């Protein structure tokens, strides 16, 4: 079965202004699937119209991240903000429904100055609530560990093992793992074993090269020929998000890695 790649239009096609305008660019590049990080800076009606016009399937988006200018990176684990989490989840659901998006990453937040046990309690309660609420809308709830060394200092969810522990403790059929190969490489390495151990719980995969988060070619720490072979052999039939930062000025030029590795959009 061919691997299904989704262009992350928040990070790819940045040479084109406006998220809505990147759906057409992804289509022209040959993609059938797209994802994004935060769609909230543009009206959901405009994004929905652009997606429909391009004829693409939108497979993933992030939930509301909070006030990123003030240092937020999600609020699901932040004590005292559960009411805000639930309120903003409804807004995120509105965007997801407009885009016909069936997966939502719920970001935990940073642990700066906060008690870990309080954060953990809040996080588990909010994830239980969100898994229930999103299930009613046919949207899968996802959590993703982020590396704290390069990308997300002081982030709460810091390893795939921690994420799997929470998923197992909550034990909800609508809560899955978002396995980002780039982050897991920086956090733990041992990609083959970690992919195989996580497979029953994986709801989405993302990729980028390490350590620069550039194109997932062979110019870095990760052997993506091997990673793709492992993913295929595992029988994973979900989507693989291209959440990387093009090294050059042209996204299209950077897509040559796909031909080099024998895969297609």
**One pLDDT digit (tens) per residue for the chain, 265 residues:** 689 999 999 999 999 999 999 999 999 999 999 999 999 999 999 999 999 999 999 999 999 999 999 999 999 999 999 999 999 999 999 999 999 999 999 999 999 899 999 999 999 999 999 999 999 999 999 999 999 999 999 999 999 999 999 999 999 999 999 999 999 999 999 999 999 999 999 999 999 999 999 999 999 999 999 999 999 999 999 999 999 999 999 999 999 999 999 999 9
Which one of the listed residues 35, 144, 165, 215 is annotated catalytic? 144
d(CA 177, CA 205) in angstroms, rounded, equals 9
> Does the global pTM surpass 0.85?
yes
> Is-catalytic flag, 221?
no
Q: Is the dihedral of CA 125, 90, 68, 243 positive or negative?
A: positive
Q: Which of 50, 5, 44, 1 is nearest to 25 (CA)?
A: 50
The alpha carbon of residue 34 and the mean position of all alpha carbons in its chain are separated, in whole angstroms, by: 11
Alpha carbon 157 to chain centroid distance?
14
Contact, 54 vs 40, CB < 8 A? no
Q: The tokens of 70 are what?
A: 């003030």
Question: What per-residue confidence (pLDDT) applies to 153?
Answer: 95
Q: Write the burial class of residue 233 (CB in 10 Å: 0-12 exposed, 13-18 middle, 19+ buried).
A: exposed
Is 57 annotated as catalytic?
A: no
Q: How far apart are CA 61 and CA 59, in angstroms?
A: 7
Dig out the tokens for 198 from the structure.
């996580």
How many C-beta neighbours within 10 Å does residue 259 have? 9
Q: Give phi and psi for 241, each to the nearest 5.
A: -80, 135
Whole-angstrom distance, CA of residue 25 vs CA of residue 31:
9
Helices marked H in 63-141: 82-99, 116-136
Cis ω before 211 (30° cut-off from 0): yes
Q: Which of 106, 94, 104 is nearest to 47 (CA)?
A: 94
Structural domains in the chain, CATH included, are: 4-260 (3.20.20.150)
Q: For the packed helices 44-54 and 82-99, what is the interaxial angle rounded to 10 degrees? A: 30
Helices (H) and strands (E) in the chain, counts: 10, 8
Kind plus residue range of the DSSP H or E element containing 185: helix 181-187
Q: Are 89 and 130 in contact (CB under 8 A)?
A: yes
Q: Do the beta carbons of residue 209 and residue 221 sit within 8 Å?
A: yes
Catalytic residue among 243, 249, 253, 259: 243
DSSP 22: H
Q: What is the pLDDT of residues 112-161, one digit of tens each?
A: 899 999 999 999 999 999 999 999 999 999 999 999 999 999 999 999 99
Structure confidence at residue 2 (pLDDT)? 87
């Amino acid at each position: 079965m061919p691997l299904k790649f989704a262009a992350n239009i928040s990070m790819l096609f940045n040479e084109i202004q406006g998220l809505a305008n990147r759906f057409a660019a992804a289509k022209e590049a040959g993609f059938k699937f797209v994802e994004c990080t935060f769609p909230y800076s543009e009206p959901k009606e405009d994004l929905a119209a652009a997606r429909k016009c391009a004829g693409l399937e939108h497979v993933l988006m992030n939930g509301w991240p909070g006030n990123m200018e003030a240092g937020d990176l999600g609020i699901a684990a932040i004590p005292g903000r559960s009411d805000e989490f639930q309120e903003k989840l409804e807004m995120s659901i509105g965007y997801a429904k407009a885009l016909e998006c069936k997966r939502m990453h719920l970001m935990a937040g940073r642990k700066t100055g906060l008690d870990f046990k309080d954060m953990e309690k809040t996080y588990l309660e909010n994830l239980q609530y969100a898994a229930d609420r999103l299930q009613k809308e046919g949207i899968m709830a996802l959590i993703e560990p982020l590396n704290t060394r390069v990308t997300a200092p002081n982030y709460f969810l810091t390893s795939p093992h921690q994420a799997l522990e929470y998923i197992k403790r909550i034990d909800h059929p609508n809560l899955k793992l978002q396995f980002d190969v780039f982050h897991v490489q920086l956090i733990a390495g041992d990609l083959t074993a970690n992919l195989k151990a996580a497979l029953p719980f994986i709801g989405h995969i993302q990729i980028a090269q390490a350590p620069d988060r550039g194109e997932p070619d062979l110019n870095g720490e990760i052997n993506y020929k091997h990673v793709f072979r492992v993913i295929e052999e595992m029988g994973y039939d979900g989507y693989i998000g291209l959440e990387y930062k093009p090294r050059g000025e042209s996204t299209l030029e950077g897509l040559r890695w796909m031909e080099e590795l024998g895969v297609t959009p």
